[in-house]
Amino acid sequence: MSGSFWNRNNVYKRLPVDHIDFIDQFEDTSEMVNGYLSDELLYIQAVQKLKTRQTQDKPIFQFIVAASSHTGFGLEGLQDRSKISIDVGKYQDTYFGHYLEAVNYADYAFGVLLEKLKQENLYEDTVILVFGDHNGLPMVNEELEDFLQERHGEIKEIDRKLTYTRVAAGMRIPGIEPLKINKPISKLDIKPTFSILFGLSDGISLGTSFFGTKDYVSLNNERIIAEDSYFDEVWYKRSTGEIIDEENCAEDQKQKLIQRVQNMKEELAISLSTNIHNLLAQ
C-alpha cells in the first residue's frame, strides 16, 4: 500500500523502525489486486527483503500488511483465478461469495509465504503470527445468515454481534506443540505476548499476554467479550443471548461483572488519551 494510507508514512518515521517498504519500494508490481499489491507478490518479495536484512546475531521483526482479501472482495486484477480453489456454489457472484473466494486466495498466498520461508531456511527459527485487522462482512448479510443457519440453526442477535467482532488469528512458535486458546484475546495482547516470547521489557501495555489469566477483552465501542458472557450496556449470556440479572447473581459473580465494566472504561480512557489527546507527548 502507499505511505498515505492511514498516514503510515508520517507515523512510521516517528517510530524506531529500520526499514519502511511501501508500494514504491517493491520491484515487481505486475499484479495489483483491488488496487493493492497481490498477496502472493507481496509475500515473495517480503521474504526476499527479510533474507537480505538477516544477520546471524540480530533477530528481525517484520510486519507485513496484506490486502487482497480486503473489501470489496472481487479480486479484480488477479491474473490466475485457478489459485482460487473453493466452489462457493449458490453464493456465486454474491458479495458473500466474493468474500469466500478472496479469503480462499488469501489462504493460498499465505501458503506461498510459508513455503518461501522454508526455502530460505527461515521457517524453523521464526515466530509467525497471522491475524485479521477487523471484520470482513457487515454484521448483517443475507447470504452469510443463510450459510450460518444451514450449519448451526437459528441465528440470534448475540451470534451476529460476536461473529462481527471475531477475526482469524493463529501463531506458530518453533518447538511448541499446537495449542488452542479458548479465552478471548485481542490485538492489544500481541505486544505483551511477544515481550514474553522474546525476553523483552514490556513497558506500558493495555493488553496482557495470550498465556495470562485475563479472560475477557474490551472493545473500543464500550463492549466486552468474555468466555461465557457479552456486555453491550447490559450483560448477556453468550450461550443463549439472555440478559444476565446482575442483582440476583451470586455476590462474587456480580462483583466480577462490575469490575470488568470499570476496567473497560479505564482502558478506553487511557486509549483515548493516548491516541486522540496525544498523552505520550505531554
Cβ proximity of 194 and 173 under 8 Å: no
Residues ≥6 apart with Cβ < 8 Å to 261:
224, 231
User: What pLDDT was estimated at residue 277?
Assistant: 64
Reading the block at residue 57, the C-alpha cell is 546475531
Cα 94 to the chain's mean position, in Å? 24
The Cα 98–Cα 71 span in angstroms is: 9
Residue 4 banded pLDDT, cuts 50, 70, 90: confident
Q: Is the predicted pLDDT of residue 280 greater than 60, yes or no? A: no
Rounded average pLDDT over 13-29: 91
Rounded average pLDDT over 169-182: 91
Strand partners, 199: none
Average pLDDT, rounded, for the chain = 91
> Which CATH topology does 5-179 take?
Alkaline Phosphatase, subunit A (3.40.720)
Residues ≥6 apart with Cβ < 8 Å to 136:
69, 71, 73, 99, 103
Q: Are strands 234-237 and 216-218 parallel, antiparallel or unpaired?
A: unpaired
The Cα 49–Cα 221 span in angstroms is: 38
User: What pLDDT was estimated at residue 13?
Assistant: 83
User: What pLDDT was estimated at residue 278?
Assistant: 62
User: What backbone phi and psi angles, to 5 degrees, belong to 37?
Assistant: -60, 130
pLDDT digits (tens, 9 = 90+) for 205-219: 888 999 999 999 999
User: What pLDDT was estimated at residue 275?
Assistant: 66
Ordered strands of the 234-237 beta sheet: 216-218, 224-226, 229-232, 234-237
Q: Is the predicted pLDDT of residue 281 greater than 60, yes or no? A: no
Q: Is the predicted pLDDT of residue 274 greater than 90, yes or no? A: no
pLDDT digits (tens, 9 = 90+) for 139-149: 889 999 999 99
pLDDT digits (tens, 9 = 90+) for 49-108: 999 988 767 889 999 999 999 998 999 999 999 999 999 999 999 999 999 999 999 999
pLDDT digits (tens, 9 = 90+) for 217-244: 999 899 999 999 999 999 999 989 999 9
Residues ≥6 apart with Cβ < 8 Å to 251:
none
CATH of domain 215-282: 3.30.1120.170
The Cα 60–Cα 71 span in angstroms is: 31
User: What pLDDT was estimated at residue 276?
Assistant: 67
Structural domain boundaries of the chain?
Answer: 5-179, 215-282
Rounded average pLDDT over 17-39: 94
Rounded average pLDDT over 165-177: 92
Rounded average pLDDT over 189-202: 91
